[in-house]
Amino acid sequence: MRSQEEYVLRTVEERGIRFVQLWFTDVLGTPKAISITPAELENALDEGMTFDGSAIDGFSRVQESDVLARPDANTFQLLPWHGHGSAGGDVPVARVFCDILDLDGSPFQGCPRHVLKRTLGQAREAGFTFYAAPELEYFYFADGDPSHPPTALDSGSYFELTGADQSSDLRQQTVLTLEEMGIPVEHAQHEDAPSQHEIDLRYTDALTMADTVMTARLVVKELARRQGVFASFMPKPLAGVQGSGMHTHMSLFSGEHNAFVDADRPGGLSVVAEQFIAGLLHHAGEITAITNQWVNSYKRLVSGYEAPIHVSWAHNNRSALVRVPVIKEGKAESTRVEYRAPDSACNPYLAFAVILAAGLRGIEQEYELAPEADANLFALSVQDLSAKGIVHLPGSLHEALGAMESSELLADTLGDHVFEWFLRNKRAEWAAYKSHVTQFELDQYLPLL
């Protein structure tokens, strides 16, 4: 037995852990868990736990439905809201992330963690390590029952320094709990909309970060639930105010050095960085179905709420899809690219995988980067935009699926299993939405027609 596994078993014994949750993620990014007792753990670490995958979204197959969940011992962590820690609780519980395998031990093609690992493997072959730092936006709603209409918990706004209010307390408690779990938070703040908050996670390698996003979403929701509050990562829960994005800062490193930096070039951006951005822009339409995977995602990607709608890049223009933050003197190593399309309700494994794949393709094929968009794109007319050669992001899930379906890059990156299942599932979602008669239509048309 390797020492990681021994460490896990020993810690479980020493800390009197009563349950170990085996965490994994379905294709849509919904967290799943199998709870086992310490007695079963050794076997699970050794051989994996068999379970019927047919009930998991995106895991079903025609023939074999059994799959294995094998814990990644490196991700073993006590859950501070159980049994001890600042959030208090009942009996000690730990979690460990799992890879999903076929019964013969080979990676299961429907496992999102595997999709990301495979793409990270390609980056490594090209000599790069991929780092990501997402900004998670979400809302707190006063009623703990999501079947009731959402009501804001506070009426604060961007960076507001509010006094003792429940949502700021909750956010603080969440940050402390994340830190206790070894998830450093860059900063946290009140966002623009009432009851909207943001937690910026400090960069780490993309696989750990995808695990971290899953953990952070769960911690936000769980701590809110304990106070009868409902936390939501829905992309656009309230009409008329900003939606919840997951702007993601990214960089590629070669060894210890940031591959996006080239001090000898004007602006300090390397050729690799430019090609990476060009790749992102070139394939932006194709990856949008993954980074913005719900019907509701496209209600966020509209004009007037600081969400990107045009495929463009700029240094300091928040209407651009790709932003290259201006770096302070002497901080060249923190040079990075921010991709502003993803929303907080994406599957982080798949989102990071397709974003990375798009950027890598740009490097591989040496794409040319178009000039940066200096104007405020929201203010430009359709004619001006097309004169500048600027296209728009897909405006609906339907459009996004169309762009995805014809993308070789996406089929390669996701693999046939995920690619086909995702399209099928999302086509069904679109069909259900399309045939639905909305309140908007009743309000507008019934009195009139």
Comparison of 163 and 255: residue with beta carbon closer to another protein: 255
- Which residues, other chains included, contact 33 with Cβ-Cβ below 8 Å and sequence gap of 6+? 21, 22, 23, 24, 95
Closest approach, Cβ 213 to another protein, in A, equals: 15
Residue numbers of the site for another protein (CB under 8 A)?
3-4, 6-8, 10-11, 14-15, 73-78, 80, 85, 117, 120, 124, 129, 131, 179-184, 202-208, 253, 255-256
C-alpha distances in angstroms, 268 versus 264, 327, 370?
7, 9, 17
Closest approach, Cβ 179 to another protein, in A, equals: 4
Which of these, 180, 186, 218, 214, lies nearest to 201 by C-alpha position? 186
301, 307 Cβ separation under 8 angstroms: yes
Comparison of 254 and 386: residue with beta carbon closer to another protein: 254
Comparison of 19 and 313: residue with beta carbon closer to another protein: 19
- The 3-state DSSP class for residue 228 equals coil
Closest approach, Cβ 60 to another protein, in A, equals: 29
Closest approach, Cβ 338 to another protein, in A, equals: 18
Q: How far apart are CA 290 and CA 285, in angstroms?
A: 10
Comparison of 38 and 150: residue with beta carbon closer to another protein: 38
Closest approach, Cβ 431 to another protein, in A, equals: 38
- Which residues, other chains included, contact 415 with Cβ-Cβ below 8 Å and sequence gap of 6+? 109, 115, 118
Which of these, 133, 154, 132, 130, lies nearest to 142 by C-alpha position? 154
Comparison of 165 and 205: residue with beta carbon closer to another protein: 205
H or E stretch including 415? helix 408-434
Q: How far apart are CA 215 and CA 136, in angstroms?
A: 12
Q: How far apart are CA 360 and CA 371, in angstroms?
A: 20
Closest approach, Cβ 38 to another protein, in A, equals: 15
Which residues of 57-195 form beta strands (DSSP E)?
Answer: 66-71, 77-78, 93-101, 129-141, 185-190
- Quote the tokens at residue 126: 């090209």
337, 249 Cβ separation under 8 angstroms: yes
Closest approach, Cβ 184 to another protein, in A, equals: 5
- Quote the tokens at residue 37: 């007792």
- Quote the tokens at residue 145: 């029952």
- Which residues, other chains included, contact 215 with Cβ-Cβ below 8 Å and sequence gap of 6+? 95, 178, 181, 183
Closest approach, Cβ 364 to another protein, in A, equals: 19
Comparison of 99 and 160: residue with beta carbon closer to another protein: 99
Closest approach, Cβ 120 to another protein, in A, equals: 5
Comparison of 148 and 257: residue with beta carbon closer to another protein: 257
Comparison of 72 and 405: residue with beta carbon closer to another protein: 72
- Quote the tokens at residue 201: 């996670």
Comparison of 101 and 181: residue with beta carbon closer to another protein: 181
Closest approach, Cβ 10 to another protein, in A, equals: 5
Which of these, 239, 314, 287, 252, lies nearest to 400 by C-alpha position? 287
Comparison of 113 and 310: residue with beta carbon closer to another protein: 113
- Which residues, other chains included, contact 147 with Cβ-Cβ below 8 Å and sequence gap of 6+? none
